[in-house]
Amino acid sequence: MKVIKKVSELRKIAFKHLINKDEIGLVPTMGALHEGHVSLISKSVKNDDVTIVSIFVNPAQFAPGEDYLKYPRPLEKDLSICRKNHVDYVFVPSAAEMFPDGHKTFVEVKSLQDILCGAFRKNHFRGVATVVAKLFNISFACRAYLGMKDFQQLRIIEKMSKELNFRTKITPCPIVREKNGLALSSRNSYLTAEEKKSAAQIYQALKKAKEEFKTKSASAVLKNVRDKIASIAASKIDYAEILDYSSLLPVSENAKKAAIVVAVWIGNTRLIDNAVLSK
């Protein structure tokens, strides 16, 4: 496994693999790797000739006052996980390497970036889309592996990749959860033991929604979910919505397939989760 810090070096190596007709898989991360990331890495190692993991805590997707400075950065542990799971290259650029002085170019996916998390985190998805676009260009990836926990992010990157004609195809991967149902996230480390118990109830509400959606209207299901989450200790809802699975537009009352997406504060930690609904 080779650790690379420079854009120019990764481009040179990736281009050689491209010329050799090697298929390149990319797993873009912000580090603090957990079993959810490992599941993405495993899929790339299985499907591709070469696997690249990027580890970059992206300042462009954090608003002032968010947790950029305290975001966990256990690099040596992350590198050990990558090595153990047969990653070929780990890309760990600095902020200055990805955003040199004078950087003024950003990628935006209008409409999709302005709802849900985008309504609460100004310029968040602009930062995400810009860095992912740069990673696609740098790595020459055939496939990028993204978890479905960040459902809005997944849809934004899919749309960006298609509309900007990237060669990179998006491979969505299922959410990996703790035994109590809590979706794995690097931010779970912020939770106290008691808060973790509270956070696990978010998934219980989503599971119930999956059952209720088979027989009830979308509005009735959504009301029950909101009521359940609002009753969780130390919780505050940023949003809870049932939307079209693909477009994230509002669904009809009798939609056959949808996604329920939520963002909930448990204490001082903001958690997102979702579930696919079908009749």
Active site residue 103: no
Q: Active site residue: 34, 37, 86, 124, which one?
A: 37
Q: Are 184 and 36 in contact (CB under 8 A)?
A: yes
Rounded Cα distance between 103 and 85, Å, is 35
Q: What is the largest CA-CA distance in the chain?
A: 57
Q: How far is CA 38 from CA 70, 90, 93, 272, in A?
A: 23, 14, 20, 19
Amino acid (1-letter code) at residue 247: S
Q: Which residues of 167-193 are buried (b: 16+ CB within 10 A; e: fewer)?
A: ebebbebebbbbeebbbbbbebebbee
Round to whole Å and give the CA distance between 204 and 191.
18
Of the candidates 27, 12, 29, 23, the one whose C-alpha atom is nearest the C-alpha of residue 50 is: 23
The residues annotated as belonging to the active site are 37
